Structure 1
Amino acid sequence: MSTFDSTKKPLPEVVREITEGNLQLPDFQRGWVWDDHHVRSLLVSVARSFPVGAVMLLETGGDVRFQVRPIENVTFANGTPDPERLILDGQQRLTSLTQVLALESPVKTFDEKGNPIERHYYIDIESALDDERLENAFVSVEPDRKIKSNFGRKIDLDLSDRQKECEEFHFPCNQILNSDSWEESLQEYAPEKFPRYMEFRRKVLNAFRSYQLPIIALGKTTSKEAVCLVFEKVNTGGVSLSVFELVTASFAAENFNLRDDWFGSNLRDVEGRQQRLKAEPVLQTIEPADFLQAISLLRTHEKRQQDIAAGKTGKAVSPVSAKRSALLSLTLADYKRWADDVEKGFGLAAKFLRKECIFKSRDLPYRTQVVPLAAALTHLKERWLEPRIHDKLCQWYWCGILGELYGGAVETRIANDLDELLAWIDSSGEPPRTISDAAFQPDRLTTLRMRVSAAYKGLHVLLMREGAKDFFWKSTIQDLDQEEINLDIHHIFPIKWCNEHSKEPSLYNSIINKTPISYKANRMIGGKSPSSYLNAIQKHKNVSLSDEEMNDILRSHHIQPDTLRADDFDSFYSARKEELLKIIESAMGKKPEGTTHDQP
């Protein structure tokens, strides 16, 4: 059954509906952005009776409700009326035509540089009657209705009153739909031009008055998801709207300001959820859509459990979902029910991440994986600290990171993970697919070279969690990181030494030859051989370490000391690769593919 109708409407009728308030905009529509050139080009197209594209409208009065607003510059004497239909596609065209054709005030538009300007629009009648000159017949003038040159000292065209308009034979565009008053003035001030004007009226004005706009009208039964999807499909000329903006517009119809709830408001002295979450450094990058996804996961998971308890099976059981359509179907009641608990769940996620030695957002392997983690912890509350549950959460989390399963589009995995993770924790299900799908190929270590990789960040964190100590400061890397000492992941065999000894960049730039150390230690390493810089660090007046003490530090980084002291890159590389694979195996609870060593 079709949910839309196609028809045509005369342009004057559409403009009248806009000025009367029967046709308005949903508040998620961006502002009017067309510049003066676009406006004049549109007027030329209508004057030539060229198609300017269909307009898509949505009938109001159904279950889908949005906060609404009039088209820019349109005002009402007795307050804004309730609209009968909303404009989903055609805002820029209809705003341009309404301001030009129906309003006395100047059109609020933009110059070619994007600066706001105000203009009145006229038609040079003689130019309009010449097909070859019609493109240039539409002119715009400043609010004083004059065109000037020589830095404003010379007036080239003065249209500041009705008599001058008639004498200059320039027709005001806001008289196009009803020219009776202007025609009377023309007969008074320039009657000799009236025959020529009548030719212009038949050729140009009638083109506007009889112009038919194609209309696609969506019925009031159209779902919110469909409305938003349609809007985004047709809104190719503007900036894509986020799901947060669309949900914000939906909630605004029920007098709830989701933007203030999330971002806060200085005017209303309201602290937003984002501000509270960002108090946790590891949550600095959490986005509003992440928060909505966590709410959607919990809402749909609860509905799924209710369906199962009611005896439903197969497709009759509601799925857990974090997809866009599920977020758009959230009601204000859903949001109010879950928002406070989910905020606490993200706080628990920050605590979990700190226990795993992830303290800052730059070290967070996947922001997307925090969503199901926060949803699960919202459900579990303090139970997440129970050893058995915590171990399961850790295995799932690290399998997602080291299996590199949370990059790209992950809505399906997020939903599956929450459902399967909670069932597994309650001992009534198999491990989540993220655990069974996760695989780490040993050769992947060689290709991990930059921090942008989730697995690279994960290994860096695991080394800190294992208690790696700094080469210079008497402290663990983890403690130095907390004290905001300048740290980074640096080469163990320096690049200069590796190049001098013909080592392959693909090997020496991999994470196998890198480890987290302080800037102080890195400066002392420089481009020296390992045996040389170890000796220099140990003998530094502020360090003074024995060989065994230095060897203990190296072992905390899973480096075999003898290989460094012998400057044996190949032996070092092979041994450390095996050590890193053991760390990975311990975190994932499963052997990397193709390995046979025992888990420590």
Structure 2
Amino acid sequence: MEARSKPIEAWFTSIEQGQIKLPRFQRHEAWRPLQISGLFENILRSPSLPVGVLLILEVGDKELFHSRPIVGAPSLSAKPSMQLLDGQQRMTALWRALTDDYKELKAFVRLRPGEDDPTGEESTDNHPTVEIEKRWDRKGVRQPVWADDAVAAIKRGVAPLSIFRPGATGENNFKVWRDQLRAAKAYSDEIGDFAAELRKRVLSYTVPFLSLPVGTSRETALEVFINMNTSASPLTDYDIVVAQVEEGTGESLHEKVESLLASAPAAKDYGRIEDILLSVAALLSDKPPLKKTYLDDDFGANLTKVWPQVVAGVERGLQFLADEAMLNEKTLPSEVAVYLTCALWAVAADLKLDSEGNARSLIRKTLWRACWTDRYGKTATTRAFADFRSLRPLIQGDSTTTPELFDETVYRLPDLEEIQLAGWPGRKERLPRAILTTSLRRKAQDFADGTSVNRSNITTRELDHLYSFKFMGVDRYSSLVNRALNCALISSATNRNKSGAPPSDYIAKRAEAANLGADTVRWRLGTHLIPYDELVANDYERFLEARAKLIEADMKALCSGAEPTA
């Protein structure tokens, strides 16, 4: 490998002309605002500090990897002369900040203290500070408005980083900025000279790089990419698998995932889709969903082989999770539930008639026992793998051996007392969330508007204390009222309308407002497994005991694979 360097101005020319692009397998942006500001502060200070070495693959007559432009750069069809293997986060931050391409933020450099904050920390000539301002839309107007106004910005002591952009566009940006300040009598030679000096520092700053010569093999380039990645945001297991798939098949895993999300957009609601897909693929490849599996040289090729099954399993599995009232990540009692369910539906995807019905019951039993027992409390991935290996032939009708998950002696269901004492489901704890999702399984109609809970409205629902802190006369952090049995997931409007009233009062108000009277409200409460009579009796202990029995009955049905009955 040859070591060289180029000034930022030369790098910008290469990007603008499409001479440098990213291999398609490169991950998407991962840097946060603090990393962006730190990068530019290293460049702008005097003497400057290094920002790391880039790794370049020189391109010959044919590209080794499909390429894509840096985010925000011109999308030119011309073949690049270089592909950026390592350093894309730095180069992307340089390009987007200096071209003002970010939609959600804007970068500024502090030239002096602001008029509204004369005691604020002043940038020194040798160490100017870079500040990142968040941006958002309000009724079609970009906020904050001052961020697009050079005069308003200089009153705050800052100037946009885009005036330091290399090339003719950057020169014009600088001139327009200076003229706007002069027209408003906000310009001074001190400000102008300092800004001009900072612009020179940006243009002349050299970024070193190592280059792999033309003739480097795909395998070598991928190996170097994985071993030498020096980003401040280290490669994830998924990033490495993306590279493996590209190396082994020439296909883009990013494109496969985008296609899957187009057909199953709900996948994003259950956490990191990348982690879910890797786990499902590992199980279908007869491997445990562990880092060791993902880093195996053959995993990328195996993932490609089972990809059609992964897609089918995710599509069927996510619909099944919704049917079972596990509507997003915040209602999941167990992370294992998602990938194990999807992997099992991949196995059952082609079954019909009675075979499909039997598989559905078996997967329901698996899902709910995964949530209600402590089987996956420790070493969850290896236990999920062991259970999957037993369940797969069971679904296919090739075995009668049951998984350890179904051993009711070792992995028992909680008793009534444990259900009554379970904490608040807003916390990421298995048992409280298992109680919550079980209470949603009968569609959990809102107390007031009567709508059933579903994926489209789950984000507008709130966890409500049926017996409020105010009514119970306790601190809001008291474990007495912060229990899963004292919780119902209702609309924000209904929740706001309760005002800490006794249960009998707000339920009477709902009954009076409902056209069909108290029976309608009784029915709606029943869809949450809330006992009407015990709730309106304003007797908390009696209410907990009654609701625990209702939850327990549905728990037992679901954990046996059956549909709960009235």
Match among 406, 428, 446 for residue 421 of structure 2: 446
CA contact (8 A) 1:295 1:338 kept: no
Q: Secondary structure at the match of 2:555?
A: helix
Q: Which residue of 2 aligns with 1:421?
A: 391
Which of 312, 322, 329 pairs up with 1:344?
312
Structure 2 residue aligned with 1:268: none
Cα distance in 2 for partners of 1:70, 1:482 equals 36
Q: Deviations over 1:55-86 (max 9, x none)?
A: 8789999xxx65579999xxxxxx86887x98
- Give the C-alpha shift of residue 217 in structure 1: 9.8
Partner of 1:372: 340
Whole-angstrom distance in 2 between the partners of 1:505 and 1:466:
29
What SS does the corresponding residue of 2:42 show, helix, strand or coil? helix
Q: Which residue of 2 aligns with 1:259?
A: 254
Paired with 1:90 and 1:563, the residues of 2 have a C-alpha distance of 61
Task: State the shift of 1:371 in Å.
Answer: 2.1
Query: Which has more radius of gyration?
Result: 1
Q: Deviations over 1:456-513 (max 9, x none)?
A: 443233224357676567xxx784659969765533334332128x999322231222
CA offsets 1:280-306 (integer angstroms, 9 cap, x no match): x576446541464156325522xxxxx
Question: For the structure 1 residues 152 and 82, does the alpha-carbon distance in structure 2 shift closer, same or farther, using more than 3 Å as the test?
Answer: same
Out of 34, 38, 43, which is 2:42 matched to? Answer: 38
Relative distance call for 1:285 and 1:580 in structure 2 (3 A) is closer
CA offset at residue 564 of structure 1? 4.1
Partner of 2:148 in structure 1?
Answer: none
| 3-state SS of paired residue (1:383) | coil
Q: Distance in 2 between matches of 1:89 and 1:539?
A: 65
Any idea what SS the aligned residue of 1:515 has?
A: strand
CA distance in 1, matches of 2:267, 2:535: 35
Q: What corresponds to 2:482 in structure 1?
A: 509
Q: Does residue 587 of structure 1 match 2:561? A: no
52-61 or 335-344: bigger deviation: 52-61
The answer for the alignment partner of 2:231 in structure 1 is 235
Aligned length: 463
| Partner residue, 2:140 | none
Partners in 2 of 1:151 and 1:470 — Cα distance? 57
In the other structure, the counterpart of 1:185 is: none
Which TM-score applies when normalising by structure 2?
Answer: 0.57
Q: What is the SS of the residue equivalent to 2:285?
A: helix
* 1:321 CA displacement: 3.7
Are 2:163 and 2:174, in contact at CA under 8 Å, matched by a contact in 1?
A: no
Note the C-alpha offset of 1:277: 0.6
- Residue 137 (structure 2) aligns with: none
Match of 2:436 among 454, 460, 464: 460
Q: CA deviation at 1:579?
A: 4.0
Rounded to whole Å, the distance in 1 between the matches of 2:70 and 2:491 is 58
Q: What whole-Å deviation, never above 9, does each CA across 1:15-34 have from its counterpart, x for those lacking one?
A: x9xx9xx9997663889979
Supply the AA of the counterpart residue of 1:277. Answer: A
Distance 1:396 1:275 in 2: 28
Which runs of 5 or more structure 2 residues have no equivalent in the other structure?
Answer: 72-77, 101-106, 110-131, 133-159, 191-199
Aligned to 1:195: none
**1:177-576 aligned within 5 A:** 227-228=225-226, 230-231=228-229, 234-236=230-232, 239-248=233-242, 256-263=251-258, 272-278=259-265, 281=266, 284-285=269-270, 287-290=272-275, 292-293=277-278, 296-297=281-282, 300-301=285-286, 319-321=287-289, 323=291, 326=294, 329=297, 334=302, 337-358=305-326, 363-366=331-334, 369-383=337-351, 386=355, 387-403=357-373, 411-425=381-395, 426-427=398-399, 429-433=401-405, 440=414, 442-443=417-418, 445-453=420-428, 454-466=430-442, 479=452, 488-499=462-473, 505-516=478-489, 526-533=499-506, 537-538=510-511, 542-545=515-518, 558=529, 563-564=534-535, 566-576=537-547
Per-residue CA deviation, residues 180-230 of structure 1 (Å, 9 max, x unaligned), is xxxxxxxxxxxxxxxxxxxxxxxxxxxx9xxxx998999977695785265
Separation in structure 1 between the aligned mates of residue 432 and residue 532 of structure 2, nearest angstrom? 23
Percent identity between matched residues is 19
Question: 2: CA distance between counterparts of 1:513 and 1:70?
Answer: 53
Pair 1:226–1:447, CA change in 2 (3 A): farther
Partners in 2 of 1:515 and 1:464 — Cα distance?
Answer: 9
Shift of 1:569: 2.1
CA shift, 1:274, in A, is 0.9
Counterpart Cα distance in 2 of 1:525 and 1:451? 19
Contact 1:417 1:434 in 2 (8 A): no
Measure the CA separation in 2 of the matches of 1:117 and 1:534.
62
User: Could you state the TM-score of these two structures normalised by the residue count of structure 1?
Assistant: 0.54
Q: How far is the alpha carbon of 1:449 from its aligned partner? A: 1.5
For 2:451 and 2:446, the matched residues in 1 are separated by: 9
Q: Is the 8 A contact 1:497 1:527 kept in 2?
A: yes
Equivalent pair of 1:282/1:350 in contact (CA under 8 Å): yes
Counterpart of 1:418, as a letter, is F
Indicate if the aligned counterparts of 2:58 and 2:81 stay in contact, CA closer than 8 A: no
Superposition RMSD on alpha carbons, in Å? 6.4
Query: How far has the Cα of 1:36 moved from its partner?
Result: 6.3
Distance 1:70 1:484 in 2: 38
Question: Secondary structure of 1:369's partner?
Answer: helix
Letter in 1 for 2:467: F
Is the alpha carbon distance of 1:293 and 1:567 closer, same or farther for their aligned partners in structure 2, counting shifts above 3 Å?
A: same
Instruction: Deviation per CA, 1:256-290: give whole Å up to 9, x if none.
Output: 44434433xxxxxxxx3212112xx5764465414
Query: What SS does the aligned partner of 1:512 have?
Result: helix
Q: Distance in 2 between matches of 1:294 and 1:368?
A: 9
Give deviations 1:131-169, integer Å, cap 9, x for gaps. Answer: xxxxxxxxxx969999x9996899999xxxxxxxxxxxx
Q: Distance in 2 between matches of 1:108 and 1:86?
A: 19
Q: Is the 8 A contact 2:245 2:301 kept in 1?
A: no
State the 1:10 CA deviation.
Answer: 8.3
Instruction: In structure 2, give the amino acid aligned to 1:580.
Output: I
1:422 Cα deviation from its structure 2 partner? 1.5
Which of 115, 124, 129 does residue 161 from structure 2 map onto? 115
CA contact (8 A) 1:56 1:90 kept: no
Report the AA paired with residue 259 of structure 1. H
User: Shift of the alpha carbon at 1:556?
Assistant: 6.2
| Contact 2:336/2:370 (8 A) holds in 1 | no
Would you say the 8 A contact 1:471–1:517 is kept in 2? yes
Tell me the distance in 2 between the aligned counterparts of 1:142 and 1:89. Answer: 26
Contact 2:281 2:306 in 1 (8 A): no
Q: CA 1:328/1:395 → structure 2, altered by over 3 Å: closer, same or farther?
A: same
Indicate if the aligned counterparts of 1:149 and 1:156 stay in contact, CA closer than 8 A.
no
Give the Cα–Cα distance (whole angstroms) in 2 for the partners of residues 544 and 11 of structure 1. 78
